[in-house]
Amino acid sequence: MEWKQAMKRIGIFIGLLLLLGCSEAPEQRLEVPFSLHFQGELIDANNCQVDSQGLDLNATPKPVVNAVTLYVHNVELQNHQGQWVRARLQGATEQAWHDEQIALLDLTPCQAEPVGGQALPLVLPKGQYQGLRFTLGVPEALNHQDPLQAKPPLDLPAFQWHWTVGYKFAFFDLAWRENSVKYHLGSSGCTGNIGETISCQYKNRPQVSLTHFQPGDKVALELRQFFTELPHARCFGKPQDKGCETLFNLIGLQQHEQRLFHVVD
């Protein structure tokens, strides 16, 4: 009789273990919206009203934003114990602008058909968080894979950087007054063979850390800083491109603190 009871207890114990194992740890969702700003003012759909010459009809001339897209991965929030907790991206949406690891953000206003999201849809273990950090770019393990076999959000030829067999981690195409800015950020100085290993001297994947972030806040990109003394700033990943210094400086590469991203309420 005794062994039967013992077996029962063991059975219950195993059952409980299984239950525990199968039940998911409680999670929470957090949406982190991104927006564009110019001298602190939001650039949104209201900026789409342009006259026939393409000039902004608003009182303060804001820049014309032809494109701002970013690849973002390794998204983490800091819990109250000070530990950074990895968030995953919510199950792929219809538009498939992200997988669990990588999101493509398309912050270009006035677009009929955006190619990426405007917010990071995060899933985190339940808890209290502050502070946000993420890495710009496509993870190295995926950056040089065959783009023709790539799954969303890596399957868009516009953001593939075919000449370096990689991706454009960030893409800016802006104009303001007589000035223009065209920036492509990606890994450069690469050697290797397609289909085998390709490694790059300049990885160019800056980590953006926003320690003042509180859930509910937005991440803002301040675009005014792009317009420096260079009338036509270009950085297309070539060593002689004059605009690269400004871009790297703003985005937090080559030992600079990033200044492009801010937290706003």
Partner 1 sequence: MWRWRNGFVAICGISLILSLLALWVGHQKQAASAKIELGRYLFYETGLSEGHSLACANCHQQMFAFSDGRKTAINVHGDKGRRNASALFNLAQNTSFTWANPLQTDLAFQALIPLFGDDPIEMAAGSVEQIQQRLASSSIDYTSLFVSAFGSSEINLARITDALAAFQSQLLAYDSRYDRYQAGQHDALTEFEKAGLALFESERFGCRQCHEGSNFNQFMGSRHNQATKNFHNTGLYYTETGYPSSDLGLYEVTFDAADRGKFKTPSLRNVGVSAPYMHDGSMRYLAQVVEHYARGGSVNLNGIKGDGKLNPNKSHLIKGFDMSEQEQNQLVAFLMTLTDETLLTDPRLAKPD
Instruction: Give Cα 3 to chain centroid, integer Å.
Output: 59
Tokens read off for 237? 């990943």
CB of 127 to partner 1, least distance (A): 41
Q: Which residue has the tokens 């973002």?
A: 72
Check residue 149 for interaction with partner 1 (CB under 8 A).
yes
Whole-number Cα distances in Å, 230 to 26, 168, 242, 245, 246: 51, 22, 8, 11, 10
Restricting to residues 222-241, which ones interact with partner 1 according to CB under 8 A?
236, 238-240
Q: Is residue 108 within 8 Å of 121, Cβ to Cβ?
A: no
Check residue 72 for interaction with partner 1 (CB under 8 A).
no
Closest CA to 172 of 43, 61, 31: 43
Pick from 198, 223, 233, 244 the residue near partner 1 by CB under 8 A.
198
Check residue 197 for interaction with partner 1 (CB under 8 A).
no
Pick from 43, 165, 221, 250 the residue near partner 1 by CB under 8 A.
165
Q: Is residue 43 within 8 Å of 64, Cβ to Cβ?
A: no
CB of 8 to partner 1, least distance (A): 59
Check residue 194 for interaction with partner 1 (CB under 8 A).
yes
What is the Cα–Cα distance from 143 to 18, expressed in whole angstroms?
Answer: 39
Check residue 195 for interaction with partner 1 (CB under 8 A).
yes
Stretch that binds partner 1, among 43-51, 119-127, 129-137, 194-202 (CB under 8 A): 194-202
Torsion of CA 161, 252, 34, 171, to 10 degrees: -20
- Residue 226 CB burial class (10 angstroms; 0-12, 13-18, ≥19): buried
CB of 198 to partner 1, least distance (A): 7
CB of 27 to partner 1, least distance (A): 35
* Residue (102 or 198) nearer to partner 1, CB: 198
Check residue 190 for interaction with partner 1 (CB under 8 A).
yes
Which residues are at the interface with partner 1 (CB under 8 A)?
146-149, 156-158, 160, 162-165, 184, 188-195, 198, 201-202, 236, 238-240
